[in-house]
Amino acid sequence: MLSKKLEKELNKQLNKELFSAYIYTSMSAYFVSENMLGFAHWMHTQAQEEMSHAQKFYNFINERGARVTLEQIDKPQTEWQSSLQAFEDALKHEEFITASINNLVNIALEEKDHATHIFLQWFVTEQVEEEASVNDIINKLKLMKDAPGALFMLDRELGQRQIDSEEA
């Protein structure tokens, strides 16, 4: 059984994961409007991953005998000045999620809730990967500056992304 505090905080995280899917869907739509379909595909795949993260929290809360509480999801940003700005915003968002996951780990440790602590370890590892992946794209975008050929190649590369089998 989850404590009321952990139930509340895990529900907050579930809602943050749903917002994550929402913001990445918005970024995907932005890239479609810019005719950057590989970038759009990458963001769409990211949105699917975030939905799977939300589902993991949903399942865990229920399995622990607590109640899932869904909240209103804020409207996401819809415009960016460039691909680089969109990915920099994605990195800021992932850093926010990382801090939130770390806070949950701290609460689980304080409450000596070992099951929740173990559950959250997957997310700790996932966030390291999420930040590294986005940071890699940012570094490539900075390196290529505004070279259209390089942007075209990166768009093609990002269009090859597939959802991780652990996410599905």
The verdict on residue 96 lying in a domain is yes
Q: Is the pLDDT of residue 42 over 90?
A: yes
The verdict on residue 126 lying in a domain is yes
Which amino acid would we find at residue 21? A
What's 81's DSSP letter? Answer: S
Q: Backbone phi, then psi, for 19, in 5-degree steps?
A: -65, -40
Domain that holds residue 132: 4-70+79-158
The verdict on residue 163 lying in a domain is no
Q: What's the rounded mean pLDDT across residues 36-53?
A: 98
Number of domains in the chain: 1
Q: pLDDT, tens digit, for every residue of 83-121?
A: 999 999 999 999 999 999 999 999 999 999 999 999 999
Q: pLDDT, tens digit, for every residue of 121-142?
A: 999 999 999 999 999 999 999 9
Mean pLDDT of the chain: 96
pTM for the model stands at: 0.94
Q: Is the pLDDT of residue 166 over 90?
A: no
The verdict on residue 167 lying in a domain is no
The verdict on residue 84 lying in a domain is yes
Q: What is the pLDDT of residue 167?
A: 60
The CATH number for 107's domain is 1.20.1260.10
The verdict on residue 165 lying in a domain is no
Q: What is the pLDDT of residue 145?
A: 87
The verdict on residue 164 lying in a domain is no
Say how far apart CA 147 and CA 74 lie, in whole Å: 35
